[in-house]
Structure 1
Amino acid sequence: MKEVKAYIKHQRVNQVIEALEREGFTDMTLIDVRGITSGLHEEAYKYSLELAQKYMDVIKLELVCADGQAKKAAAIIAQAAHTGRQGDGLVFVTPVEAIVRIKTGEKGNAAMEPEK
């Protein structure tokens, strides 16, 4: 299993979720976070008040999927979140060592299956 994490702009969240859902990715978590960034170079401050500040409000999206689906999920997120401007975000894919469904104690892939 893999965990796909993405930090994206608030204004792109709906596009990202809709694109993921169209491809069958339906279980995910969204969290409001503040990213710390170096901001823009001094000469670019006049062009963007949002990107000139050190702290940016962004959405952290998390989903867990099968190993073979992670690249697809990452690509969908990157495409749907893309605006071509600085601060579009980042996507990370990392291995998941273990999964346990708290209610039933199921582990691994069985814990990821919908409950009956």
Structure 2
Amino acid sequence: SNFEQRLAAATLPEPGPDYFLARRTVWCTQAVKQPSPTPANASRLRLESLLDVPGAIENDETWRSGLDKVWEGLVAGARLRHRLPLALVIKILQAGWIREGTWPRGAVAPDSD
């Protein structure tokens, strides 16, 4: 486990009150979790190539070429077979919102603060 790895890497005093405090400090210290990169696969690369074209989010042909199925799964709460970057998921959701009328065609999101 992560705690056991951090404990093995820590320099601890001899057993006693100081040992307890040192071990407790290791336990209470939050581990630095490195974000794991999203591995590329054929499905993800295909979605990225579909959505990298200007205007793809509003293009009905792009929508029918598989985006609709991914969107339906996302809004139904289904688990994705492969992890997707958040930026790609947002594009897919926006494309679906355009189709259902939640997001007006041609609308641009304002810049964040």
TM range (shorter): under 0.3
State TM-score, norm by structure 1. 0.23
For the pair shown, the structure with the greater C-alpha radius of gyration is 2
State TM-score, norm by structure 2. 0.23
- The structure whose residues are more often strand, as a share, is 1
